[in-house]
Amino acid sequence: MSQISENKQISPYMAFYMVTTMQIGVGILGFERYIAKTAGHDAWISVIIGGLLFNVLIWMIYRILSRENADIIGVHRNLFGRWIGGTLSFLLLIYFSSTILTVLRTYIEVIQIWIFPELGTPIITFILLGLAYSYVIGGIRVVAGLSVLGFFMSLPLFLLKYYALKNAHYTNFLPILDHSFSDLMAATKGVTLDYLGFELILLYLPFLKHPEKSQKWAHLGNLFTMFTYLITVFVSFVYFNQEQLQHTIWATLTLWKIVDLPFAQRFEYAGIALWLFVILPNICIGFWSVSRGIHRLYKIKQKSALRTMMFIIFICSILVVDRQQVDILNTKVSQIGFYILYAYIPFLFVIQLILGKGNGKGKGRKTSNG
Amino acid sequence: MVRKNMIIVFTLFLLTGCFPSKKILEDVQLVSAVGYDYKSNSQVELNGMVAIPQRGEDVPPISEVFTATTNTSKMARALEQAESPKPFEIGRLDIALYNHRLAENGIYDLVDTLQRDPSLGRDLYMAIVKGSTKTLLKQQYPLSETPSKYLLQLLDQNMNANIPKSNIHDFLYRYYGKGMDPNLPLIEKQGDRIRVIGTALLKDDKMVGQLKLEDSFLLKLLMEPFEKGIYEVKFKNNQFFTIQNLSSKVEYQFKNVKRSPSVDISVKVKGRVSEAPKIPVSNPALIEQLESATEKAMNKRTNKIVKKLQKAKVDTIGLGDLARSRTRGFDFKRWDEQYPDIPINVKVKVEITQAGITE
Amino acid sequence: MIFFKKKKKNQQQEAKSNSTKGTLTFPELMKKLTASADFSTVKQTSLSTFYISYYKTLVNPEFLHRDLLPYITEMPLKNLDDIQKHLPLDGMVKSNDVHDIANKVTEGFILIQMNKGDPEGLLVPSLSTENRQISIPETEFSVVGPKEAFVESLDTNLNLIRKRLPIPEFTVKEVRVGKLSKTRVAIIYIDGIADAENVNTAIQRVNDIEYDHVVDSSYINQMISDNENSPFPQLIDTERPDRVASVLSEGKVAIMADGSPHALTGPTTIVEFFSAFEDYFLNWTLASVFRLIRLMAVMFSVLSTPLYVAVLTFHYEMIPENLLATLVASRNDIPFPPILEAIVLELSIELLREAGARLPSKVGQTIGIVGGIVIGTAAVQAGLTSNVLLIIVALAALASFTTPVYQMSNTIRLLRFPFLIFAQFLGVLGVAICFAFIVSHLLKLTSLGRPYIAPLYPLRVNDLKDALIRMPFSVQNSRPSSVRPQDKAKMNKKRAKEKHDIED
């Protein structure tokens, strides 16, 4: 990773924040319903299984990248040559862009449903993109700073779970393991969507100082996400029963409703506003990584790549009109994500092993310079 | 650079029309209580109570009731707009009242409109009213500024003491949940007072029965641990004493759930004698007598209540859900069929600890 | 003495580099100088003849008549070298460079020539320094601790700092800036502790200043700051020599200008702006609590009115049950929407502050009382504002004044207005968005090239000991790593940590 000057790099421990903040997004506000559909009150087991599976995937990604000593674009080029590799990289970048669009659009949807039904999509998209632009323009250092901030701003939100626990029905969890293994696996598939997002590390890893040291932080980040999801699932499951949960689209948001502080009640308004700091790192890391990817692929200036991307995403965001379309967008993108992670990454891992191209470190470095 | 900024500013101006519309506090009419009255099988009369603040700092607000008749509550609200000088907002709704006749026909559709509205909280109280909700809301009560405030404090206070806790969340929890049925407080207007007269028992969203206030206390004992409830016991020839519980605990035991289930419910009550005219309560021997008298009375009464619930096929205690949590592969259908005939034994144990500060 | 020599050397260097362009002959110069009424040339004819030229308004007459003239009139002196030998004075320069002479004379040197037209002359320093007495600090007053503040003379100021750091590593680099003002600017640091890169950045930036006159250090503050457009001050502006001494010992750099009673210190971090120097005079528990209170005050000051506007305009659901009646009652008669009410009140508070600041202190107090009590009460009674908002605005203004650094407290009061506008359009979401914009600005901001919000991001756990809270001195064993000091350790950790047994 010699091509990136040291003062542009960020500390390896940043991998922790960047992985968690990328994983925790809008999904957590209402994912309980989806995973409980199949595995019922045992869905928390799926959360753990999913978390552990993703640790394996992180390990794979680190292996793939460290063999070539490059980002995914360099790996693609080394393994498949200029044209096929370039096409694969391009497809991957399109997938990443669509995840940005999904996160952005879903958050706007939440705002429109919960706070401002009359808020026009163009204006809020414009403002949020402007916000993202002001961060991404500062480079990876600023974007990473935002993810640290997002992490610490969302921590106190855990305390709000207390209000739900006051009215908890702990028997909802019993009996443990009342569902079949296939049910649990189906729920694990559902959970996958909520762990998605960390795969952007494929693009920004070269910007971490000592990437090999950052691996443990990435794993820890993933475990923290798992822990967060576990708490969320636990609290939602004891507050709602399974049938009620199926009628509750945004379980966590509904939980915020009962928060009653002496100076403010109905916390969901403040909560959704604060959630901006969870969404923003998602969008910003996404924008940064993809524009960086375009810059690496086509030698376009990163700034102009970013602007073009933002324009396209702005148009796409306006084109998504109603809730159904947001839902479709969510399911489609997460399906693609599912296959990329569980099929393509292992495939890449095996291909690399077979071709054995990874041994030549020098070669990898040379080609990744482009 | 300047041109670029101009473009941005211009775009923003173009988009300003899409900003959310304002709901300035004093420009809206905050509905603090709604009441639904039965009109006909397809029509509902909706009464919204609004507290209108008066000029000056220390002048209490005046309450007004707006009424409309339609078949869905949303449309009713649109109707009300015609009379009101300001638009209605239901985000501060504290209480929803349902006429008991209406409740017998089912109230889910009405509750559903409330729960769908994101501006509503989850701690909304619900109650069933014997009589018209309109007259109840229209009355000015000397005990409180507005009827909604009165109701709020009344229900709050009673749910801490004698009747099972129930707000919109609990109602929906029990409505959606399998193996349990909702209950709601039952209130009645008596002159310029509102009285909690007991608990309404619902099967799904339909009211099928009711319990008196004293029985509500016993039902609460069977449902949740609580304190501060008051219960009156008859003790020998027309002597009465009241006992206030300091803490209570309930345990359930299920036997043979899969085939022929039976349930043992054991309740432990710790209490003190709060009122005992003509009974020398400082005597330890007498305390024991009081304890056994209370136990006897409670046992008899609770078993009767349980029988009543079973007969009406309502599982207000939530035994079905408890059974599920203790059984793998629980079959709700079977349980529902068996429920009316399951032997349920309640055993209350009472321990009296203090009897006031004098001897 | 070392210090003085160094300074002199610098002065000479700088004098050369600063000399005005173009050629100037000596008679031309003299013509230019004598055009001014306060310039005088005296011909001395006692044992030998020479000419003394000087600005009457710059030169201390007492010095001239008591310390200079007696020595040169007593004996026959052939040439300038003789004079230089006989004068028991320091800092004399013999020069034949017209520009040099011009610069020196305008600074308060006395020019001694043997003949009137001679292009060569001896320059004797004789600056009459009209100094203000050292007084107590006004903007950074502290109840305990030293009560000295800087004055307008650079040398006095340096003296105040140097006597707190009597070490040879204390280094002063002097630069002259300003085409017309030729202000002496000193860059001060402790050699061996301060990072060379920081020092170089500071010197470089000061050298790069292109402006005709530099009157005060706040000019320099703006000219060398990393982002000129940022409302956030990027260097700390202090009038306390003790604060400068302590900051220098942390490895930072201080910049002082002659004629300015303030020192700039950097690289700073945002948390430094919220720590009063008095924090170090109090026990650490108290100091930490006060710092946290100050931080809360800042949050309150920035967010309270915007949140009021947001909640009253969009989210009436969020108002706590018990406050609702009060708020509705107080808002009921107000003819303005919340945003207008808030802006009008905020602006009137700003008006009061401006009026108070521009008037002599006694009148200023009266204005405060009149504005605060009379106008406030009248406005509420007339039904123009709600008393709830009046309380909030007044508290917010009060809270903003708890910020120890004056520039920062101005920034904080200014920050409210964008928040208010966002709150008006997007409610609490708008407040969050505005906050995010400010955070993005802060993340990009640097102070002398070092990250501005340093101990928070990049996260330096070690520096957090003296950031939001102040840990005891025994724990403060290292200098802040965000300024990259060359020598990290503040003290011998082991000795400080030695534990004593009960009866030892």
**E strands along chain B, which residues?**
29-38, 44-52, 62-70, 88-89, 95-99, 125-130, 183-190, 193-203, 206-212, 230-235, 239-255, 262-275, 344-354
Q: Do A276 and C432 touch (CB under 8 A)?
A: yes
Q: Do A119 and B18 touch (CB under 8 A)?
A: yes
Is beta strand C446-447 parallel, antiparallel or unpaired with respect to C263-266? Answer: unpaired
Given this model, what pLDDT does residue B28 score? 85
Classify A6-367 by CATH class: mainly alpha
Alpha helices in chain A (DSSP H): 14-23, 32-39, 43-68, 72-114, 121-136, 140-154, 161-165, 181-195, 201-204, 211-239, 242-247, 251-257, 268-298, 302-319, 323-339, 345-355, 361-367
Task: Give CA–CA dist B339/B337, Å, rounded.
Answer: 6
Q: What mean pLDDT is reported for chain A?
A: 87
Q: Are B254 and B318 contacting, i.e. CB atoms less than 8 angstroms apart?
A: no
* C7 has a pLDDT exceeding 80: no
Nearest to B325 among A171, A254, A268 (CB): A171
Q: Nearest chain A residue to B112 by CA: give it.
A: A247
* Residue C134 DSSP label: P
Which residue in C229, C270, C313, C443 has the most chain A C-beta atoms within 10 A of its own C-beta, making it the best mutation to test that interface? C443
Asked if C468 reaches chain A (Cβ–Cβ under 8 Å), the answer is: no
Q: Nearest C-alpha of chain B: how many angstroms from C331?
A: 7
Given this model, what pLDDT does residue B44 score? 84
**Chain C partners of A129 at a C-beta cutoff of 8 Å?**
none
**Chain B partners of A117 at a C-beta cutoff of 8 Å?**
20
* Residue A174 DSSP label: P
Given this model, what pLDDT does residue C5 score? 45
Q: Do B169 and A174 touch (CB under 8 A)?
A: no
Asked if A149 reaches chain C (Cβ–Cβ under 8 Å), the answer is: yes
Q: Does this complex have an ipTM over 0.85?
A: yes
Domain-wise residue ranges, chain B: 26-220, 225-359
CATH entry 3.40.50.1980 includes domain B225-359? no
Q: Are C470 and C291 contacting, i.e. CB atoms less than 8 angstroms apart?
A: yes
Give contacts of C 169-208 with A, CB under 8 A. none
| pLDDT in single tens digits along all 359 residues of chain B | 567 777 777 766 666 667 788 888 888 888 888 898 888 887 888 888 888 877 766 777 888 888 888 776 565 666 666 677 888 888 888 899 999 988 998 888 888 888 888 888 888 899 999 989 999 998 888 888 888 889 999 998 888 888 888 889 999 999 998 889 999 999 999 988 999 999 999 988 899 988 988 888 888 888 888 888 888 888 777 778 888 888 888 899 888 887 888 889 998 988 888 777 777 666 777 788 888 888 888 888 889 999 999 988 888 888 888 888 888 888 888 888 888 888 888 888 888 876 555 55
Q: Nearest chain B residue to A113 by CA: give it.
A: B118
Task: Give CA–CA dist B29/B92, Å, rounded.
Answer: 10
**E strands along B256-354, which residues?**
262-275, 344-354
Q: Nearest C-alpha of chain A: how many angstroms from C35?
A: 56
Question: Contacts from C152-157 at CB under 8 Å and sequence distance 24+?
Answer: C152/C258, C152/C259, C152/C260, C152/C261, C153/C129, C153/C258, C153/C259, C154/C184, C154/C186, C154/C256, C154/C257, C154/C258, C154/C259, C155/C129, C156/C131, C157/C241, C157/C256, C157/C261, C157/C263
